[in-house]
Structure 1
Amino acid sequence: MTLPDLSTLRSRRPPADRPRGPELARVDDSEGPGGLRLRHYRPHAQARPLVVFAHGGGFVMCDLDTHDRTCRRIADACDVEVLAVDYRRAPEHPYPAAIDDVAAVLRWAAPVAVAGDSAGGYLATMACLRLRDAGERLPAAQILICPNTDLTLARPSVVEKGTGFGLDADFLEWVVAQWTPEPADRAAASPLFAGDLRGMPDTLIVTAEHDALRDEGDAYAERLAAAGVRVLHRQEPGLVHGFIQNMDLTSPAAAAAHDRLFADIRTLTTGRV
C-alpha cells in the first residue's frame, strides 16, 4: 500500500463554507490534567450534565477543531455540556498514551458520560475499563459511535466493507500499526477481547451498515449485554463510517440518524448533573 502522509492528513481543515454549528452560551479553551488541551461547550449559563468527548481520527489525526461542529451540535441538541479532549496522538505517542489522557480527564472532570466516535469510541471505552479495573468512579454512561473495538481487524466487515465505503482496510491497518506497533499487543489492547466486561457503564453503541468497523462494534454490544451491562445498540442502515461528522449536511438519512443519536444521549443524561 502507499502510506499516507501524516502531515497532510493532519493539515486538513473543515471547508471554509461549512456551517460552524449552533451558537452556545459559552465555548472555552482551557487546560486539564497534565496540560491537556480541552474545549468546554456550555449550552446554557446554568450547569448541565457533563459529557467528555474523545474525537475520532484513527489515533493519528483530527483534533478539537475538526470535531468542533459535532461537539456544538451534541451540546445544543442534547442539552449537555461537552468537554472535548485533545489527547496525544500516535505515532509520536502510541498505546496507551491517549487512553491515559482520556482516563485522566474522566477522573478530573467526573462527567455523567464519556463519548467518542471511531478511535475516540475506542478510547472512551478503554478509559472506562481502566477506571473500572482500578476500582475508581466510572461515568454513568458510555456513548460509542462506530467504535473500533478489535485492533486485530479480524471481523468480516473489514473485508466486506473495507473498499469503496470511505474507510479502507489498508488505511485501518496503517493506523492500527501507528497506535500499536507490535502486532502481538493488539488483542490485549482491544476492548472486544477484555476478559470480563461486568460493571461497565450503561452503553449506547451506534454502528453503520457500510462501515468496515461494523462487526466489531456489533460484537462489542453483544459482549457487553451478555455481561449484564445495560446496552442500547442500533446499526444504522445505509450509512458509512464517520456519518456523525457533518454528513447531516448532505444526507437526509444521516441527519435522521443524528436525531436518533441525540435523543438517545438525552435519555441517558437527563437529570444527571
Structure 2
Amino acid sequence: MSQVFADEALAGIAAGTSPFGSADVGAIRAAIAARAAGRPRGPEMHEVREVALPTCPGRTYRPAAGPAPLVVFLHGGGWSVGDVDAFDRPVRRLAAASGADVLAVDHRLAPEQPWPASVDDTVAALRHVADGGLGAVPPAVVVCGDSAGGTLAALACLRLREEAPYALPDLQVLVYPNADLSDTTSPSMREKATGFGLDAASATFFARLWVGGDETRLRDPRVSPLHAPDLSGLPPAVVVTAEHDPIRDPAEAYARRLDAAGVPTTLRREPGMIHNFLQFDELSPAAAAAADRVAADVAGVGSPRPGARGRGRAARP
C-alpha cells in the first residue's frame, strides 16, 4: 500500500503518462476514445436510448423499469475532450449503484464551441427535463458532473436560479469540479502541481482553451462559480474532492461558501484519491469504492426538497 495514494494502482496511474499532458486536443480525444473502447462495458441496463436534447445529443440509462429519480450527468474532460461514449462505463455504474435513471449530456466542446456553449447545453437539458421533454417529470432530479462537468453543473444552477427557478434540480453533486479557473496559487495548485495524474499546467491549459484564450474571463462568475457574489437560493450540494488534485482547494472553498450562504452542503475529501477517479474503477479498488460513495450521494436524494420544486413550477411563466 502506498503511503500517499489510496492503493498501489492509483500510484501507478499517477506515475504513468497521462493524455492530458499534451496540448494536442485531437490526440487527447483519440487516446480517450481508444481507452474507452478497450474497457469492460459495465452493468447491463433495462434500457439505454439515444435522445435529442434542445441543443445537443444525449443518452438515457434506465437500470430498471418504473419511475425513478433522474441524474443529469455532465462528463469531465476540460470542456474540450470526452463524450458520452468515453463515460459510458462510469454512467452505467452510477445508474446501477444508485438505482436512478441517468441522462448523459453530450455537450459541445471547445475549441470548436468555446464557453458558453456547454453551459447553454446544460441549462437547456435541465429545462428540457423540467418541461417533461423526456416524458413524465421525474420525482426528483440531480445534476451531477465530474471535473469540468462539475463546473458546468454549478454554473447551470447559478443561471437557473435567475432564469428558470422551476428547473433547478433537487440536488447538485459536484465531483472534483474546477471552481476557480483563474487559480494558479492555491496550496493544492502548488503542492499537487505534478506527479498526481492531472498536472496544474494541464488544468490551466484547458481553462484558457475553454474561454477562447481570453484570460480576463477566467474570473468571470459565469465561468468560475467561486467568483459568484451570491450563492444563496441554490439547491443542496454534495462536493467531492480528491486529496491529490491540483484543483482541490477552490472546490472546497466553494463548498464552504455554499454552506455559509445557507445552502445545505456536504463536503467530502476522498483521501488518497487523484483527479478523475470515476474513470479508474476497474483498475483501483479504492477508486471504485469512492465512485460508489458518489452513487450513494445520488441515491440519497429521496424525495424532492419540501416545496422547492412546487414553488418553482407555480411561479413558472
TM category, shorter: over 0.9
Aligned residue-pair number = 269
Q: Is the deviation greater in 8-17 or in 88-97?
A: 8-17
The 1:271–1:135 alpha-carbon spacing in structure 2 relative to 1, beyond 3 Å, is closer
Runs of 4+ aligned structure 1 residues displaced above 4 Å come to none
Deviation at 1:5, TM superposition (A): 1.2
Please list, as runs of the form range in 1=range in 2, the aligned pairs for 1:83-232 lying within 5 A after superposition.
83-110=103-130, 112-137=141-166, 138-154=168-184, 155-180=186-211, 181-188=213-220, 189-232=223-266
CA distance in 1: counterparts of 2:38 and 2:67, whole angstroms: 32
Q: 1:85 to 1:166 in 2, by over 3 A?
A: same
How many angstroms apart in 1 are the aligned matches of 2:53 and 2:164?
22
Identity level (%) = 49
For structure 2, list consecutive stretches of 5 or more residues without a partner in the other structure. Answer: 1-20, 131-137, 310-317
Q: In the alignment, which residue of structure 1 is the partner of 2:59?
A: 39
1:236 counterpart residue number: 270
State whether residues 209 and 237 of structure 1, in contact with CA within 8 Å, keep that contact through their aligned partners in structure 2: yes
Query: Which residue in the other structure is 1:5 paired with?
Result: 24
Q: Which moved more, 1:193-202 or 1:16-25?
A: 16-25
Distance 1:46 1:257 in 2: 28
Deviation digits for residues 98-155 of structure 1, max 9, x if unmatched?
A: 1001000000012611010000000011011011022422101101000001010232
Could you list the per-position Cα deviations for residues 139-191 of structure 1 after superposition, in whole angstroms to 9, with x for gaps in the alignment? 01101000001010232211211201011111112111111121111111210
Q: Does the CA-based 8 Å contact 1:209-1:239 persist in structure 2?
A: yes
Find the counterpart in structure 1 of residue 51 from structure 2. 30
**Given that residues 188 and 245 in structure 2 are in contact (C-alpha distance below 8 angstroms), is that contact kept between their aligned partners in structure 1?**
yes
1:85–1:135 Cα change, 3 Å? closer
After TM superposition, the score normalised by the length of structure 2 is 0.82
Change (3 A) 1:234 1:139: same
Tell me: CA distance 1:149–1:15, structure 2 relative to 1, closer, same or farther (3 Å).
Answer: closer
Q: Secondary structure at the match of 1:229?
A: coil
Residues 127/16 of structure 1: CA separation in 2 closer, same or farther (3 Å cut): closer
CA distance in structure 1 between the aligned counterparts of 2:100 and 2:82, rounded to whole angstroms? 23
Q: Secondary structure at the match of 1:124?
A: helix
Cα deviation, 1:69-111, whole Å, max 9, x if unaligned, reads 1111111110101000111111111111110010000000126
* Residue 267 of structure 1, CA deviation: 0.8
Worse-matched range after superposition: 197-206 or 255-264: 255-264
What is the RMSD computed on CA atoms of the aligned residues?
Answer: 1.6
Judged with a 3 Å threshold, the aligned counterparts in structure 2 of structure 1 residues 15 and 108 are, in CA distance, closer, same or farther, namely closer
Quick one: which amino acid aligns to residue 283 of structure 2? T
Deviation for aligned residue 1:197: 0.1
Establish whether residue 48 from structure 1 lines up as the match of residue 68 from structure 2. yes
Provide the TM-score with structure 1 as the length reference.
Answer: 0.94
Q: Distance in 1 between matches of 2:22 and 2:288?
A: 33
Query: What is the letter of the counterpart of residue 152 of structure 2?
Result: L
- Does the 8 A contact of 1:27 with 1:40 survive in 2? yes
**Among 95, 98, 101, which residue is 1:81 paired with?**
101
> Take 1:203 and 1:105, find their aligned partners in 2: how far apart are those partners?
19
